[in-house]
Chains A and B, each alone.
Chain A
Amino acid sequence: MTGGLLGALAGLVAQLRNVGIPVSPTEHIDAAAALRHTPVADRAAVKVALAATLVKNAEHLRTFSTIFDLYFADRQRDAVDGDTTDQAGGPVDGLAGAGAGPGGGVLAQLTDQELSELLRQALRDNDSTLLRAIAGLLVDRHAGIEPGRRVAGTYYLYRALQAVNLPAVLGKLREELGGAQPSVAGRIRGLDADARVEAFRAEVEQEIRARLVADRGVDDVARTLRTPLPEDIDFLNATRADTAAIREVLKPLARKLATRLARKRRAHRSAPLDFRQTMRRAMSTGGTPVDLAYRRPHPSRPELVVLADISGSVATFASFTLQLVYALRSEFARVRTFAFVDGLEEVTSLLEKADDLLEVTRALNRGTSAVWIYGRSDYGHALTVFRRRYLDQVHRRTTVLVLGDARSNFLSPRDESLAAVAERARAVYWLNPERRELWNEGDSIIDRYGRHCTGVYECRNVRQLRAFVENLDG
């Protein structure tokens, strides 16, 4: 095995650890051993071998794939623009690189308009060679990569794709692939268009990364890549793509937590002796009680009351937390949810029917009594309304969960309402999606409320949310 390959492997492992994928030394060794049995020239085979040995969690596979592509660059791609890089000794000389690619000579003469047309045809015929050439050309012409600048490349991607008007191409492609046929299946075939365009976008992205790597070196690019694992994405800064990624990890997580909580409850063996049953069993052993019988354990399931701030700034956080709580609802005797901004409204039945909680919160924000006057969070008023209307529903077995950043917009905190709730409830937990350093800065009055809570937790990402829910039961 060549030293270069082992070096690349070491870089890959270091970078995986860097983004939070745990790779033990044993696994590193296994990966090296696996490469001995893998045709090293076959990039796909190498990827399979490394994925199987280094990544043991399906949710990490996508991140692995991105980093792998950096460290084990596509040989074919290198052949296209590698030599020009060497000659120039630094930044990639654009058009010459594409000229060396397949069909590049003719391609380079096309206008953007014609290129867009060609792209559509290539996508329709699924011609990967041509697609790759077009991707290369687009990056050369429009991305305008500046050597030495330390950026992640999304900006370049945007610039490169703008020229060919991808949405329009997608629309036409959809029609072409399936629209003419009247059948359902025909239209479903049209859906394939989305996948192909997405693949092309990935192709361009990879092309850009290849150039960046040539310019700055692998490790540097990997550092600026910022590929957080889905469980580490900050709720408050989540983009739409992030939200989708988070939702994907949340589903299996809810299932796992439910299994765990159910098991924990069943394992709880402190039930009293069932004397009658024991004596009856003793009959078969001559009156000696050998086999003891216990009463069925009767664990009390807690009731859960969730107070969720659904104002714009923290809505995503609330919706994810609620999604998790609702997936676990069989583990609680009852779950009631109240949404508030400056007013307060029970949304339990709404949430039970809806399938997308984010939709619900948006609908709520548009017009219900959750919004009272301003449309900005007023914790004081919301808590007071809760106390006045629902305090008698809170009792010894109720756990109250407050979701929000405790930013009161400098309105009166009225924390005595929370104190009154806390006095009746079994426990009050406050989950704050803001980073701890920002607590109590500006209009944040988390400490003032925190005094009355059983616990206040920072809940910025799925990892922290999970840690909290795991311990909620016990």
Chain B
Amino acid sequence: MSSSDPAQEGAFASADEVAAMLRRVGYLPDAAIAGVVHLGERLGKPVLVEGPAGTGKTELAKSVAAATGRRLIRLQCYEGLDEAKALYEWDYRKQLLRLQARDESGKDWAQIEGDLFGEDFLLTRPLLAAIRAKDPVVLLIDEVDRLDIETEALLLEVLSDYQVSIPELGTLKATTVPLVYLTSNNSRDLSEALKRRCLFLHLDYPSVDREREIVLSRVPGIREDLAEQITRVVAALRGLDLKKHPSVSETLDWARALLLLGAEEIDEATLRDTLNVLLKYTGDITKAAAKLADLAK
């Protein structure tokens, strides 16, 4: 079910190729990320990206769009999201206008009814927009775990067959298969049906080496050994039992802060003064400070 566009074929020739493409747009993937992105395109399957907050799930979809030059269509999920906001809606104002304009045209009712439920009166929402797009697109369904369980079923037809059935119009099929990425914070279990249709990618916090690379590429001017120390401290903090672990973006904030302060090295004083950049709960800060002080003994 791979895309027939020869340019796309070349772009996704191998996982290494994908990795190189993502690197070019500033996203540093590990082998698993590149492998799953590659497979997702090859098999024509959506990719479900799951993991703690701040590990670059949404960023991945954006980067894939940027790397392949595809247009990004984003559906932000929230509780209470419904068909009319995710799939399509009939433009009833326009339909009313059409009805009022009936007399002049002199068409008979059957014809008007046919018109009323034609594509002209259809308001496309993100899912349908992705299906009907003429150009290749990346569809990002963000925070899918916030959907109500009942609404989740809305996605199934789009995800498995890349089509949308509209009772009045029939089934609309995708002309180009979109690359679909779903992200989830794992705040609830997604249904088996949804998971079965997707490839699963667990994005955990990056390894020390990869995070150091990220810091080096995103914080220009930082010294390599400082970046090394930063990522080690962050990794140690993630090993503690905290309410909220520092995310990658917080690591970057911290690195920038240390750079601004002109810190040569992370000593106890710097750590004490800047820990609040990494940790956002007082309880966490106290606990982490105590644990890190233990280490310094």
Q: Do these two chains interact?
A: yes
- What is the interface of chain A, defined by CB distance below 8 A to chain B? 22, 24, 26-27, 30, 33-34, 37-39, 44-45, 48-49, 51-53, 55-58, 61, 183-185, 187-189, 191-192, 252, 255-256, 259-260, 263, 355-356
Q: Out of B50, B188, B271, which one reaches A58, CB within 8 Å?
A: B50
Chain B hits for A356, CB < 8 A:
241
Chain A hits for B75, CB < 8 A:
none
Name A24's closest neighbour in chain B (CB-CB).
Answer: B196
Q: Which 4 A-B pairs have the closest CB atoms?
A: A185-B229, A48-B35, A56-B195, A37-B42
Chain A hits for B36, CB < 8 A:
48, 52
Q: Does B110 contact A (CB under 8 A)?
A: no
Chain B hits for A37, CB < 8 A:
38-39, 42-43
Contact mask for chain B residues 21-47; partner A; CB cutoff 8 A; 1 contact, 0 none: 000000000011001101100110101
- Complex Cα spacing A192 to B233, Å: 11
Name A27's closest neighbour in chain B (CB-CB).
Answer: B196
A44-B51 contact in complex given A37-B38, A184-B268, C-beta closer than 8 Å: no
- Complex Cα spacing A34 to B201, Å: 14
- Least CB distance from B283 to A in Å reads 8
Q: Out of A44, A185, A260, which one reaches B232, CB within 8 Å?
A: A185
- Least CB distance from A196 to B in Å reads 12
Q: Is B39 in contact with A256, judged by CB distance below 8 angstroms?
A: no
- Complex Cα spacing A30 to B271, Å: 48
- Complex Cα spacing A272 to B291, Å: 53
Q: Does B179 contact A (CB under 8 A)?
A: no
- Complex A-B: 7 CB contacts under 8 Å: A44-B31, A52-B201, A53-B39, A56-B198, A183-B266, A259-B188, A260-B188
- Complex Cα spacing A183 to B188, Å: 42
Q: Does B172 contact A (CB under 8 A)?
A: no
- Complex Cα spacing A51 to B265, Å: 40
Q: Is A256 in contact with B31, judged by CB distance below 8 angstroms?
A: no
Chain B hits for A51, CB < 8 A:
32, 200
Q: Is A52 in contact with B35, judged by CB distance below 8 angstroms?
A: yes
Q: Out of B187, B196, B292, which one reaches A56, CB within 8 Å?
A: B196
- Least CB distance from A328 to B in Å reads 14
Name B202's closest neighbour in chain A (CB-CB).
Answer: A58
- Complex Cα spacing A280 to B267, Å: 64
- Complex Cα spacing A259 to B148, Å: 11
- Least CB distance from A125 to B in Å reads 16
Q: Is A252 in contact with B198, judged by CB distance below 8 angstroms?
A: no
Q: Does B97 contact A (CB under 8 A)?
A: no
A34-B43 contact in complex given A48-B31, A184-B266, C-beta closer than 8 Å: yes
Chain A hits for B5, CB < 8 A:
none
14 further A-B pairs in the complex, CB-CB below 8 A; given A56-B195, A188-B235, A255-B187: A45-B35, A48-B36, A52-B35, A56-B48, A58-B202, A58-B204, A184-B292, A188-B229, A189-B229, A191-B239, A191-B295, A192-B232, A252-B186, A256-B188
On chain B, the number of residues with a Cβ less than 8 Å from chain A's Cβ atoms is 48
Q: Out of B35, B47, B187, which one reaches A49, CB within 8 Å?
A: B35
Name B295's closest neighbour in chain A (CB-CB).
Answer: A187
A185-B266 contact in complex given A22-B192, A45-B31, A259-B187, C-beta closer than 8 Å: yes
Give the one of B42, B200, B268 with max A CB within 10 A: B200
Chain A hits for B241, CB < 8 A:
355-356
Name B287's closest neighbour in chain A (CB-CB).
Answer: A355
Chain B hits for A187, CB < 8 A:
295-296
Chain B hits for A45, CB < 8 A:
15, 31, 35
Chain B hits for A52, CB < 8 A:
32, 35-36, 39, 47, 199-201
- Complex Cα spacing A356 to B196, Å: 37
Q: Is A26 in contact with B196, judged by CB distance below 8 angstroms?
A: yes
Q: Does B79 contact A (CB under 8 A)?
A: yes
Q: Does B189 contact A (CB under 8 A)?
A: yes
- Complex Cα spacing A356 to B43, Å: 45
- Least CB distance from A303 to B in Å reads 25
Q: Does B14 contact A (CB under 8 A)?
A: yes
Chain A hits for B39, CB < 8 A:
34, 37-38, 49, 52-53
Q: Is B295 in contact with A256, judged by CB distance below 8 angstroms?
A: no
Chain B hits for A30, CB < 8 A:
43, 45, 199
- Least CB distance from B284 to A in Å reads 10
A191-B236 contact in complex given A48-B36, A259-B188, C-beta closer than 8 Å: yes
- Complex Cα spacing A26 to B156, Å: 15
- Complex Cα spacing A259 to B199, Å: 25
- Complex Cα spacing A188 to B268, Å: 12
- Complex Cα spacing A51 to B271, Å: 38
A183-B267 contact in complex given A24-B196, A189-B232, C-beta closer than 8 Å: yes
Q: Is A184 in contact with B43, judged by CB distance below 8 angstroms?
A: no
- Least CB distance from A50 to B in Å reads 10
A33-B31 contact in complex given A56-B200, A184-B233, C-beta closer than 8 Å: no
- Complex Cα spacing A34 to B208, Å: 29
- Least CB distance from B39 to A in Å reads 5
- Complex Cα spacing A256 to B188, Å: 5
- Complex Cα spacing A260 to B39, Å: 33
Q: Is B233 in contact with A185, judged by CB distance below 8 angstroms?
A: yes
- Complex Cα spacing A44 to B241, Å: 31
Chain B hits for A252, CB < 8 A:
186
- Least CB distance from B177 to A in Å reads 15
A256-B196 contact in complex given A30-B45, A188-B295, A355-B287, C-beta closer than 8 Å: no
- Complex Cα spacing A355 to B14, Å: 47
Chain A hits for B233, CB < 8 A:
184-185, 188
Contact mask for chain B residues 223-234; partner A; CB cutoff 8 A; 1 contact, 0 none: 000001100110
- Least CB distance from A386 to B in Å reads 31
Chain A hits for B204, CB < 8 A:
58
Name B242's closest neighbour in chain A (CB-CB).
Answer: A355
- Complex Cα spacing A260 to B188, Å: 7
- Least CB distance from B47 to A in Å reads 8
Give the one of A58, A192, A260 with max B CB within 10 A: A58
Q: Is B266 in contact with A33, judged by CB distance below 8 angstroms?
A: no
- Complex Cα spacing A185 to B296, Å: 9
Q: Is B271 in contact with A184, judged by CB distance below 8 angstroms?
A: yes
- Complex Cα spacing A27 to B198, Å: 9
A188-B236 contact in complex given A24-B196, A256-B186, A259-B188, C-beta closer than 8 Å: yes
Q: Is B189 in contact with A256, judged by CB distance below 8 angstroms?
A: yes
A188-B200 contact in complex given A52-B39, A259-B188, C-beta closer than 8 Å: no
- Least CB distance from A360 to B in Å reads 14
